[in-house]
Amino acid sequence: MKSGDLKKVISIQEQKIVSDGMGGETVTWVDHITGTATTAPIWAAIWAVSAKQQIEGMQEQGTITHRIRIRYRTGVDAGMRVKYGAKIFNITGPPINPGTENKMLEMLVKESTV
């Protein structure tokens, strides 16, 4: 893969549980930074892989499956999500390190269209 293929800026987010100050908790998503304490953009390539539509509870739902590729970074796991603009992609399984070369990281993700 050439660096020119990575044309989209994304953020990788993780869930955090935050106290609401009244004894309860709220789940929120925050940007996950790995390695150094830098906020450098994460450049990615995003491809649509498949799409599926279902009708559940009298509502039409769609799920689009994508593949996202970024430069290799540690700490990314299936409990995280990817944000690209207003779109949210949930990581569906462990990220893949092609050839175990620590050059690229691939993630299969799902986007809910509801």
Q: Does residue 14 contact residue 32 with C-beta atoms inside 8 Å?
A: yes
Q: How many CB atoms lie within 10 A of CB 48?
A: 10
- Asked whether residue 112 carries a pLDDT value surpassing 70, the answer given is no
Amino acid at position 63, single letter: T
Q: Does residue 47 contact residue 66 with C-beta atoms inside 8 Å?
A: yes
DSSP-assigned states of every residue in 15-34: EEEEE-SSS-EEEEEEE---
Question: Whole-angstrom Cα distance, residue 9 to residue 16?
Answer: 22
pTM, 2 dp: 0.79
Model pLDDT for residues 55-101, shown as the tens digit of each residue: 666 666 667 789 999 999 999 999 999 999 999 999 999 999 999 99
Which domains does the chain show, CATH number per domain?
3-112 (2.40.10.270)
- 54's tokens: 């279902």
